[in-house]
Amino acid sequence: MKDLETLKITNKEGKEIEIKVITILKSPDNSKSFLIYTFDDKKENVDIYASIIKEENDSYVLDSITEKEDWDMIQKKIKEISEE
């Protein structure tokens, strides 16, 4: 996997965690943004995660993806990335 940009996020317990950004996607109607990321891009088999990016109180929050069409779009993109 190519070199990925690193971001620091704060989890619900207040602990700072580094994530590696794989890509950011927009929904077809541009109403939602999604972050596709991993915690460790150096392993042979990388676990990939996805979250909705929401803006709250002048900061960004990662939230769970709950809609099937969002998951379908994200899974398609993850498949494309894994084939690169």
Any idea where the domains of the chain sit in the sequence? 5-83
Our CA angle for 1, 69, 80, nearest 5°, is 25
In sequence order, the β-bridge partners of residue 22 are none
19-66 pLDDT, tens digit each: 999 999 999 999 999 999 998 767 677 888 999 999 888 888 899 999
d(C-alpha 33, C-alpha 16), whole Å: 22
pLDDT of residue 1 exceeding 60: no
Give this prediction's pTM: 0.82
